[in-house]
Structure 1
Amino acid sequence: MPRILIAECMQEISSFNPLPSRYENFHIERGDELYGRRGLNTSIGGALAVFEAQPDISIVPAISAHAGSAGLLAADAWQKLSREILDAVRDSVDGLDGIYVSLHGAMGAEGELDPEGNLLTEIRRMAGPDVPIVVSLDLHGILTDRMLRQIDGLAIYHTYPHVDFADTGERAARLLLQLMRGGIKPIIARVVIPALVRGDELITRTGCYGDLIGECRRIERDGTAMAAGIMIGNPFTDVPELCSQVLVMTNGDVGAAEREATRIAEEFWPQRFRMQGKLISLDRAIAQAASIDGPVIFTDAADATSSGATGDSNVILRALRDARYGKRVLAQIVDPSAAEAAHRAGVGAIIEVDLGGYFDKRRFAPMRVRAKVRLLSDGQSRLETMKTPLDAGPTAVLTFGNFTVVVFSNSISLFDRAMYYANGLNPVDFDLIVVKSPHTEHHMYDGWVAKNFNVDAPGSTSANLKSLGHTICARPIYPLDEGVTFEPNAVIYDRSLTNHQSR
């Protein structure tokens, strides 16, 4: 009976977050614990649905390690994590017929700026040259040359905001089964585009990026390609191969892979101007919000925890207070000290605390507030789309004046409404809601608010990319540099050869 190993390692980092990520940030599942993903909208959940539908397949669940977005992973944490993952693979590697690895692609560790490439290199060494390896990736990942040299196939998210987690796992699983049956010569073409992109045009339902993704989907469906995608990287992960890139995989057809990857890259390049964040100054946003009757959103993409920021920015709260904005405000912030003080005082107590500026002290100064403790919780919830758990640690709802703020102890993804709901709050009951995410699914906010203000605020995930200070990624690259040019060059990866070929 053919044996397929499943492994996962997922984290997205911001190199500009001053708080290092630790081993303790990772949730580790081992062996049969991975079956807990059945039916969930996750890559492993989708892959399991495909594999378990095959009666002649033996699944070997090895390990899953996933963590919320954060700063660069500390060296000792990476050493411990990588050793644990590779040990789990090593224990089951004998007699494998296929390997599926679920990755994000935008990891970074102190002393190892290509962690996924490191893992795949070691997995390939253990498995040998003939066992097919297929990976799934977030479109915000950075697929490196080292990674491409180890794999036989790939599946990349096709949606943003992401809703196709399980679908991507299903595509990866079906591709792996095809490769295991034999008779296929996988060819992958890669075209690197020297551009970093951000902004509303990346929303695949409505933006020009989605139109290009549509071409990737079309050539998958009509059989031109076995897999195709456009990875735009995470502009906050400052690593050597940070870029946008087009990937096209075919069955032995080098010409088609090269042609399609080049064509889509050439269509992408002139639209890089559109694919930039359109920011509004904070003072102007506040003035306009005060004059709008309906509810509004203040998008704080610069402090997006799901992109790797600290979550402790109080810049918007301070500006609203200083401007005497008088309508009802709902916001979230990460501040373990303030949360602890609230839990110590108890519900109903009036406390004076410093709010914000707990981690990123260079960017944010603590804001003193006198607040009432309205509610205390354990900070447990589940993401709306993925249904995977959230653990914000001891959490408190503080109110002061017209402000209601949910205060967390741990940084968690805030790209939906889960933590508002879990703490007894409904955004529709407020006039201004702060969302610490560049985008959310349309129905969550944009479908019912009068206006979404993408405010220009400081933070380690600011869409004002020039303000961040990249020092590692390859230059020149748009928009960090002026006069960047692009001449598409398709690099062909063919593992049947000793080395990949460039055409």
Structure 2
Amino acid sequence: MPNIFIAECKQEVSSFNPVPSTIVDFEQSHGAEILDYHRGHQTEIGGALTIFEAQPDITLTPGYSARAITSAGTLTAESFATIAEAFCVAAQAARECDAIYLSLHGAMSAVGEPDPEGHLLAELRRIVGETIPIVASFDLHGVITQRILHHCDAIVAYHTYPHVDFHETGVRSANLLLQILRGEARPVTARIYIPALVRGPQLVTATGLFGGMIRQAQSFEADSTGLSAGMFIGNPFTDVPDLATNSFVVANGDEAWATTKARALADAFWAVRDQLYQPLVGLEEAIAQASAAHGAGTAVLVDAADATSSGASGDSNAILVELLKQNYPGAALMPIVDAPAVAAAFAAGVGASIETTLGGRLDHDRFTPLPVTAKVRMLSDGHFFSERSRVPWNAGNTAVLQVGKHIIIATSRAVSLYDRSLFWAHGQEPRHFDAVVV
């Protein structure tokens, strides 16, 4: 009866976030807790479980899980050592297993270790030896190193951006691991390094040019020779030596085929690379454009450099400052991480007006706290569920503040803002505003 070991370590960091992340920024699970957390949820392990648990001859050995609560700054050396030790202790059980599935991210970084996933995989191989097959799934923003590839029998990556295929990625990973276990697959991987970093709307897989490359990868994966294929575009804010774009193809025993197909993906990317960059608009001009378009619908103001989902601190008040400076005629909705402002709101209570500052509490080199008079509209504990996958999030104590016509959802801690769930959880419908900051 085949026994499969399951473990998880997922975090995405921004090297430019001045606030380091620590072990308290992770949710940790051990043993059966991992299966209980993921079963029935739209996660990679949740997807894998639908395959593994449908096989009557499969037993599972869950090991250790460290899930970052949100993307954040570079992990401290001490905290990574704690995670690595817990991972290795749990991995001792994998020595008696027949196969291993790991759910990883790929854009993790720790002080003194720019490739934490590679380190964990190397330690896992040291513990279990070279013969037990390992399949690992990754975010397509992962930074794929040679060490990762060396220690994995096969890798699987998301096929969507924005990411909505967590569950499907787990399903693909589990099916591939079972193929290897049954002797139906002998994976060989080809990876093509592409010296480029891109960011912008053309990367949206449903509508952009990048989606064409992903569909090409899916056709390779669906081929009788293909086992897995995709693209890694890296997280531009994870400033580590191996940061780049990569194409990859995993084939069933045919290295030449894998190399040809991986090269085809790389060539397709390179041919349109100049179209994959998003021209940026200066802040002053952006607010002027939004003012000129007032009344035509909701303007979306994208503060990509402060995206908490990419590891930023989330305390940028730059757009709010410019809205007030230009006397923007409409009402804007925006999130800002500011624990002291939230504490002041809780002390005053709903309906009170408070004198406080907003933003600039964490990233002092880029932002300056903005003095405001704010009315407290709502207070909450900051717990909510993501819009599609229903994953629980915790923003800490949260206050809805009104500054002039603008509504600020001030949170005590950063959370990944993939969707509208934070707004909805606090009684705000983005479409009812003239502008929304994302």
TM-score range, shorter chain: over 0.9
Question: Deviation digits for residues 169-191 of structure 1, max 9, x if unmatched?
Answer: 10000000000112532110011
1:50-102 superposed Cα distances (whole Å, 9 cap, x missing partner)? 10110100011112111111111011111111111221222x22320010000
2:172 partner letter: R
Q: In the alignment, does 2:189 pair up with 1:188? A: yes
Give the match for residue 371 of structure 1.
Answer: 374
Judging changes above 3 Å, is the alpha-carbon distance between structure 1 residues 124 and 62 closer, same or farther for their aligned structure 2 residues? same
**Which of 387, 391, 397 does residue 384 from structure 1 map onto?**
387
Name the SS for the 1:39 alignment partner: coil
User: Does the CA-based 8 Å contact 2:225-2:252 persist in structure 1?
Assistant: no
> Which has a greater percent of helix?
2
1:71 to 70, 73, 94: 73
Deviation at 1:385, TM superposition (A): 2.1
Partner of 1:406: 409
Secondary structure of the 1:162 match is coil
The separation in 1 between residues aligned to 2:126 and 2:388, in whole angstroms, is 36
Aligned 8 A contact 2:225 2:254 in 1: no
Q: Which amino acid aligns with 1:95?
A: E
CA distance in 2 between counterparts of 1:56 and 1:183 reads 17
1-structure distance, mates of 2:51, 2:371: 53
Per-residue CA shift, 1:434-462, capped at 9, x if unaligned? 11xxxxxxxxxxxxxxxxxxxxxxxxxxx
**For the residues of structure 1 that align with 2:332 and 2:95, how far apart are their CA atoms?**
57
Distance 1:94 1:415 in 2: 38
Q: What does 1:48-447 correspond to in 2, within 5 Å?
A: 48-67=49-68, 68-90=70-92, 92-292=93-293, 293=295, 294-435=297-438
Deviations 1:193-231 (A, max 9, x none): 111111111011111111011110011112231110111
Consecutive unaligned residues of structure 2, counting only runs of 5 or more, are: none
The equivalent residue for 1:32 is 32
Specify the SS of the correspondent of 1:306.
helix
Secondary structure of the equivalent of 1:50?
Answer: helix
**In 2, Cα distance between the equivalents of 1:268 and 1:422?**
39
SS at match of 1:94: helix
Write the distance in 1 (CA, Å) between the matches of 2:28 and 2:385. Answer: 17
Task: Determine if contact 2:336/2:409 at 8 Å carries over to the other structure.
Answer: yes
Q: Distance in 1 between matches of 2:105 and 2:162?
A: 15
* 8 Å contact from structure 2 (residues 13, 237) kept in 1: yes
Per-residue displacement from partner, 1:336-363 (whole Å, max 9, x unpaired)?
1111111111111111111000100000
* Residues in 2 aligned to 1:206 and 1:316: alpha-carbon distance in whole angstroms: 28
Cα shift readout 1:245-294 (whole Å, capped 9, x = no counterpart)? 11111111111011111122112112111111221122222222223221
Task: In structure 2, give the amino acid aligned to 1:355.
Answer: L
2:355–2:371 Cα contact (<8 Å) kept: yes
CA distance in 2, matches of 1:197, 1:430: 30
Alpha-carbon separation, structure 2, partners of 1:291 and 1:197: 29
Structure 1 gaps, min length 5? 436-503
Q: Secondary structure at the match of 1:433?
A: strand
Q: Which residue in 2 is equivalent to 1:439?
A: none
Per the TM alignment, residue 397 of structure 1 is displaced from its structure 2 partner at its CA by 0.6
Q: Which stretch shows the higher mean deviation, 276-285 or 249-258?
A: 276-285
Distance 1:286 1:362 in 2: 23
Residue identity in the other structure for 2:71? S
In 1, Cα distance between the equivalents of 2:292 and 2:367? 28
- Structure 1 position 400, deviation (Å): 1.8
Q: Which amino acid aligns with 2:347?
A: R
How far the C-alpha of 1:326 sits from its partner, in A, is 2.1
Separation in structure 2 between the aligned mates of residue 25 and residue 383 of structure 1, nearest angstrom = 18
Contact 2:232 2:246 in 1 (8 A): yes
Contact 2:94 2:100 in 1 (8 A): no
For 1:238 and 1:337, the matched residues in 2 are separated by 30
Q: Deviations over 1:282-311 (max 9, x none)?
A: 222222222322121111111000001000
Q: Which moved more, 1:373-382 or 1:60-69?
A: 60-69
Aligned partners of 1:28, 1:204: CA distance in 2, in Å? 32
CA deviation map 1:438-489 (0-9, x unaligned):
xxxxxxxxxxxxxxxxxxxxxxxxxxxxxxxxxxxxxxxxxxxxxxxxxxxx
Q: CA RMSD in A?
A: 1.0
Aligned residue type for 1:12: E
CA distance in 2, matches of 1:312, 1:346: 22
Poorly superposed stretches of 4+, deviation over 6 Å: none
Quote the Cα distance in structure 1 between the aligned partners of 2:408 and 2:262: 47
Which residue matches 1:473? none
> Residue deviations 1:387-430, cap 9 Å, x none?
11111111101112101100000111112111111111111221
SS at structure 2 position matched to 1:192: strand
Distance in 1 (CA, whole Å) between partners of 2:47 and 2:82 is 28
TM-score (norm 2): 0.97
Q: Is residue 2:4 matched to residue 1:4?
A: yes
Encode CA deviations 1:313-344: one digit per residue, 9 max, x unaligned.
00000000000012111111001111111111
**SS of residue matched to 2:427:** coil
